[in-house]
């Protein structure tokens, strides 16, 4: 709203708010042309909002925390994990650095390539500025541009025959829309495609299918419409760009109003799908659509599992995820055996959360070594440290880190049967708590038996002493409710 932000000396409050929200949320919607109405100062403000929106506010906050060498609390590590789409809590700080470096490299490379074309068109200083602005906007999938210098509200329609500009912007959009965790995975696996995680492979394949199929369809639908006066090469170029940009980028190389109605519907579908998880793009995500399509195909074939790159996933697995919280206190000789039994579960996905409760032996080191060698597809794991003594505090910290549908608390000196989680998720149904049969053998020969039960009455299970940490699964939302908060205390009071 400041007069310095507008070339007209002022701007309406609603228009300023709309532009600010659009830039931060990287939607690409504008009430008027960016170059014609905003001053350089206003454009720089918009550019900063685009960068924050593309990276995510929490990621930018984490960057400043790293710069000032502060520690991130568990709460913010969880928020950061969700913000950048990390599969694990343990590597979020490393991933933040990768995100920042990768973003800077891509945007600088894109700006350098775009400068080759923009400098001859607009002069050196303005050409470089336009290149940087467009590169950041494209990588962040924002859709803001300064092409109004040549024709107001024209986007890329005035340069749609320039392969350097169109392909560079397309590449930046795709790089930003792939997702940071995929590029981290590619780096960790030394660019060996066969060793990538199922998630990364699914992102690459779904992206390729959408790009190629979209390109073919736009070429077909627009051949005698908006592409009518273009040569074959330019038609192919714009068909590809029309396939790239709808997935939340916001640029356009042809007038959308002049497109075939079928093409506009296809554009809407692509906008709905969006990009990959943990990327600068929006939408319901490519992997979500891919898994839903595979689920539909499996249901049509009367199969209860889907196969993705030789990995079988049951349909129940698609719907349910389980966290196993394991408090550890001075169990360096036993904790490895416990973790092996959890890794051996036939059920996936499983999120293992180990909480070291201020152990005085090598328990934390043993767990850390085990985690570095055993995290895999469908099995994520993290080690947390709780300096406050007592199992109650350790379990509460573990619960705070849970982001799955169900949670199981397990002791670090016990072993879990391989089929336990599979059977539990299969039998819990719509209930909030599932307690299974357990036989406890005492040294003197006595036996205590807890039989399986299922239900929603918290008092029936917890306050009748049916629950020990090894014998129940509980719905996470239920456990976090006001009444269930008492359950954590009750279980925690059992001690180590």
CATH of the domain at 450: 3.90.550.10
Mean pLDDT of 385-414: 87
Domain for residue 197, yes or no?
yes
Same domain flag for 24 and 80: yes
Q: What pLDDT is attached to residue 489?
A: 43
Domain for residue 279, yes or no?
no
Q: What pLDDT is attached to residue 150?
A: 87
Q: Between 63 and 354, where is the model more confident? A: 354
**For residues 435 and 465, is the Cβ–Cβ distance under 8 A?**
no
User: Which range has the worst mean pLDDT, 70-79, 123-132, 175-184?
Assistant: 70-79
Q: Between 483 and 411, where is the model more confident? A: 411
Domain encompassing residue 471? 320-492
Q: What pLDDT is attached to residue 299?
A: 80
Cα–Cα dist 11/284, whole Å: 34
Of 273, 303, 338, the domain-final residue: 273
If pLDDT is split at 50, 70 and 90, which confidence band does 248 have?
Answer: confident
If pLDDT is split at 50, 70 and 90, which confidence band does 462 have?
Answer: very low
Of 248, 273, 298, the domain-final residue: 273
Same domain flag for 297 and 330: no
**Domain count across the chain:** 3
Q: What pLDDT is attached to residue 72?
A: 57
Same domain flag for 241 and 362: no
Same domain flag for 348 and 258: no
If pLDDT is split at 50, 70 and 90, which confidence band does 392 have?
Answer: confident
pLDDT digits (tens, 9 = 90+) for 253-291: 999 999 999 999 999 999 999 888 777 777 888 888 888
Q: Between 269 and 319, where is the model more confident? A: 269
Domain for residue 468, yes or no?
yes
Domain for residue 63, yes or no?
yes
Q: What pLDDT is attached to residue 175?
A: 92
Q: Between 318 and 489, where is the model more confident? A: 318
Domain for residue 102, yes or no?
yes
Domain for residue 281, yes or no?
no
Same domain flag for 212 and 170: yes
If pLDDT is split at 50, 70 and 90, which confidence band does 482 have?
Answer: very low
Q: Between 158 and 309, where is the model more confident? A: 158
If pLDDT is split at 50, 70 and 90, which confidence band does 337 have?
Answer: very high
Whether residue 201 is predicted with pLDDT greater than 50 in this model: the reply is yes
pLDDT digits (tens, 9 = 90+) for 402-422: 888 889 999 898 888 888 888
Same domain flag for 177 and 111: yes
Domain for residue 278, yes or no?
no
Q: Write down the mean pLDDT value for the chain.
A: 81
Q: What pLDDT is attached to residue 314?
A: 58
Highest mean pLDDT among 193-207, 327-341, 448-462: 327-341
Domain for residue 280, yes or no?
no
Same domain flag for 252 and 294: no
Mean pLDDT of 131-151: 92
If pLDDT is split at 50, 70 and 90, which confidence band does 198 have?
Answer: confident
Same domain flag for 477 and 342: yes
Q: What pLDDT is attached to residue 493?
A: 37
- CA torsion, points 371, 374, 376, 380, in degrees to nearest 10? -30
**For residues 172 and 156, is the Cβ–Cβ distance under 8 A?**
no
pLDDT digits (tens, 9 = 90+) for 37-88: 899 999 999 999 999 888 775 566 556 556 555 555 555 555 555 555 555 5
Same domain flag for 179 and 211: yes
Mean pLDDT of 324-337: 93
Same domain flag for 253 and 348: no
Q: What pLDDT is attached to residue 251?
A: 92
Whether residue 388 is predicted with pLDDT greater than 50 in this model: the reply is yes
Q: What pLDDT is attached to residue 490?
A: 42
Whether residue 428 is predicted with pLDDT greater than 60 in this model: the reply is yes
Of 273, 296, 329, the domain-final residue: 273
Same domain flag for 187 and 55: yes
Beta bridge partners of 162: none
Q: What pLDDT is attached to residue 494?
A: 35
Same domain flag for 52 and 199: yes
């Amino acid at each position: 709203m400041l007069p310095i932000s507008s070339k007209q000396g002022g701007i309406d409050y609603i228009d300023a708010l709309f532009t600010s929200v659009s830039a931060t949320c990287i939607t690409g919607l504008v009430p008027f042309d960016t170059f014609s109405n905003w001053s350089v100062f206003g454009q720089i403000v918009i550019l900063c909002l685009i960068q924050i929106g593309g990276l995510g506010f929490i990621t930018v906050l984490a960057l400043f925390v790293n710069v000032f060498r502060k520690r991130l609390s568990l709460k913010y590590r969880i928020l950061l994990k969700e913000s950048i789409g990390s599969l694990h809590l343990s590597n979020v700080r490393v991933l933040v650095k990768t995100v920042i470096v990768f973003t800077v490299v891509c945007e600088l490379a894109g700006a350098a390539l775009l400068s080759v074309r923009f400098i001859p068109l607009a002069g050196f200083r303005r050409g470089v500025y336009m290149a940087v602005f467009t590169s950041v906007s494209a990588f962040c999938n924002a859709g803001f541009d300064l092409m109004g210098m040549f024709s107001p509200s024209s986007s890329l329609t005035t340069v749609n025959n320039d392969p350097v500009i169109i392909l560079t912007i397309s590449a930046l959009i795709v790089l930003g829309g792939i997702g940071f965790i995929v590029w981290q995975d590619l780096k960790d696996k030394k660019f060996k495609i066969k060793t990538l995680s199922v998630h990364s492979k699914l992102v690459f394949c779904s992206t390729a299918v959408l790009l190629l199929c979209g390109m073919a369809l736009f070429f077909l639908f627009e051949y005698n419409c908006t592409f009518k006066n273009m040569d074959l090469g330019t038609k192919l170029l714009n068909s590809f760009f029309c396939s790239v940009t709808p997935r939340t980028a916001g640029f356009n190389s042809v007038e959308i109003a002049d497109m075939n109605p079928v093409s506009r519907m296809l554009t809407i579908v692509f906008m709905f799908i969006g990009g990959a998880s943990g990327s600068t793009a929006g939408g319901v995500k490519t992997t979500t659509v891919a898994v839903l399509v595979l689920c539909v195909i499996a249901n049509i074939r009367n199969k209860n599992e889907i196969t993705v790159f030789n990995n079988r996933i049951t349909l129940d697995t698609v719907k349910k995820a389980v966290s196993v919280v394991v408090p550890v206190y001075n169990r360096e000789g036993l904790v490895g055996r416990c973790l092996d039994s959890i890794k051996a579960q036939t059920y996936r996905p499983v999120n293992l959360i180990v909480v070291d409760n201020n152990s005085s032996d090598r328990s934390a080191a043993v767990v850390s070594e085990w985690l570095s060698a055993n995290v895999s597809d469908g099995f994520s794991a993290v080690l947390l440290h709780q300096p406050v003594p007592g199992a109650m505090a350790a379990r509460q910290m573990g619960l705070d880190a849970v982001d799955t549908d169900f949670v199981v608390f397990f002791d670090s000196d016990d072993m879990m049967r391989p089929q336990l989680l599979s059977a539990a998720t299969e039998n819990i149904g719509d209930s909030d708590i599932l307690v299974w049969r357990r036989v406890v053998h005492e040294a003197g020969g006595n036996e205590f038996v807890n039989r399986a039960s299922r239900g929603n009455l918290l008092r029936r299970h917890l306050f009748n002493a049916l629950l020990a940490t090894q014998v129940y699964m509980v719905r996470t939302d239920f456990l976090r409710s006001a009444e269930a908060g008492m359950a954590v205390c009750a279980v925690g009071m059992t001690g180590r």
